[in-house]
């Protein structure tokens, strides 16, 4: 608790896909957070950034889904794996300006290796932004063709994306990658008109006692915090099985988000129900974008 008393550093973190929590982000290991990995997380600590979250290896007998993005520090089990914790690669790193003219000024620099800059970026006859590069990579890693073809390598090492030097191909993937990133950060949430929420007789805040899923419907058995009210059932209609079972970071976001609230006996309100609907709408659109990426085939292998 000494770390909290003397170095309280409140921070929003990505605890699980679409599940954000708050903590005191320790700046040293073996403090309030045992392994805070602050040398990396500092680049998200009250800073504008985005990062790619992934694992090095996994042994699950299922398709590869172990990739996601975050604008915040991550909890080490954000992505699921039996074999080690999650890594996050920030798009930008922050540090002191060393040009000698602006002492103390903090600048952000794209987190690219010198080899990547010299051998790839400088070989192009156009100049993609760092955000374009991230979006392109994110799209490639969401190609079902890529995931199936390279599954053996994805299970045993860090994911790697073939970097096309063809501007048109790069641009098509980057455009779809940007859509995915906006969806996974819940920045561009589809209307979700096909997803209907029925509150039953629920009034005020409540606890979720049980989650049941059947026939494209989510049923939440809930108890009101106000004991004067009665138990009820909240229903989400139009959440198809492919949406409910969809994985990001090798986790099922909707199922896990709800079950964590059941386990923690956490108070829930109308805003939280909207969050569930937003997750479902974002995932539904993600599936659509991934189909567009699949239609590109293996264009990412063009002009390497």
* Residue carrying the six token digits 């859509």: 179
Q: How confident is the prediction for the chain on average, in pLDDT?
A: 93
> Residue 112 has what pLDDT?
97
> Residue 99 has what pLDDT?
63
Say if CB 246 and CB 252 are below 8 A apart: yes
Q: What confidence category does residue 28 fall into, taking pLDDT thresholds of 50, 70 and 90?
A: confident
List phi, psi (to 5°) of 114. -60, -35
Buried b (16+ CB within 10 A) or exposed e, 99-110: eeeeeeeeebeb
3-state helix, strand, coil in the chain (%, to 5): 35, 20, 45
Residue 252's contacts (CB-CB under 8 Å, 6 or more residues apart) are: 244, 245, 246
Beginning with the edge strand found earlier in the chain, give each strand of the sheet holding 196-198 in spatial order. 196-198, 232-237, 217-224, 206-214
pLDDT above 70 as % of the chain: 96
| The two three-digit tokens of residue 201, written as one number | 């007789």
Q: What is the DSSP letter of 268?
A: B
Q: Is the pLDDT of residue 100 over 70?
A: no
Say if CB 68 and CB 19 are below 8 A apart: no
Taking alpha carbons only, the member of 136, 62, 110, 132 closest to residue 293 is 136
Q: So where are the chain's domains?
A: 196-290
Residue 213's contacts (CB-CB under 8 Å, 6 or more residues apart) are: 219, 239, 244, 255
Q: Which residue has the higher pLDDT, 288 or 9?
A: 288
Q: Is the pLDDT of residue 227 over 80?
A: no
| The two three-digit tokens of residue 207, written as one number | 């606890």
What is the C-alpha separation between 31 and 290, in angstroms, rounded?
41
Q: Enumerate the β-bridge partners of residue 14.
A: 20, 74
pLDDT in tens, 156-182: 899 999 999 999 999 999 999 999 999
pTM for this predicted structure: 0.94
Say if CB 133 and CB 181 are below 8 A apart: no
> Residue 238 has what pLDDT?
96
Say if CB 303 and CB 262 are below 8 A apart: no
């Amino acid at each position: 608790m000494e770390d909290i008393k003397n170095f309280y550093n409140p921070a929003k973190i990505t605890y699980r896909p679409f599940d954000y929590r708050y903590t005191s982000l320790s700046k040293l290991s073996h403090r309030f957070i045992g392994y805070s990995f602050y040398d990396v997380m500092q680049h998200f600590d009250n800073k504008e950034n985005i990062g790619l979250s992934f694992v090095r290896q996994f042994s699950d007998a299922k398709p590869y889904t172990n990739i996601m993005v975050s604008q915040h520090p991550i909890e080490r089990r954000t992505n699921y794996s039996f074999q080690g914790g999650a890594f996050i690669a920030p798009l930008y790193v922050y540090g002191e300006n060393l040009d000698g003219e602006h002492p103390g000024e903090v600048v952000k620099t794209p987190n690219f290796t010198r080899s990547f800059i010299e051998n790839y970026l400088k070989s192009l006859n156009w100049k993609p932004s760092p955000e374009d590069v991230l979006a392109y990579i994110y799209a490639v890693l969401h190609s079902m063709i890529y995931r199936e073809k390279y599954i053996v390598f994805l299970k045993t090492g860090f994911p790697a994306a073939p970097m096309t030097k063809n501007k048109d191909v790069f641009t098509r993937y980057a455009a779809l990658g940007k859509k995915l990133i906006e969806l996974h950060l819940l920045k561009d949430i589809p209307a979700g008109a096909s997803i209907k929420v029925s509150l039953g007789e629920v009034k005020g805040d409540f606890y979720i006692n049980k989650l049941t899923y059947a026939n494209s419907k989510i049923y939440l058995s809930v108890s009101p915090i106000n004991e004067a009210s009665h138990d009820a059932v909240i229903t989400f209609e139009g959440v198809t099985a492919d949406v409910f079972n969809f994985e990001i970071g090798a986790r099922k976001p909707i199922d896990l988000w709800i079950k964590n609230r059941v386990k923690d006996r956490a108070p829930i309100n109308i805003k939280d129900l909207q969050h569930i609907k937003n997750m479902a709408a974002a995932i539904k659109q993600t599936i659509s974008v991934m189909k567009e990426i699949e239609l590109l085939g293996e264009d990412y292998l063009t002009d390497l």
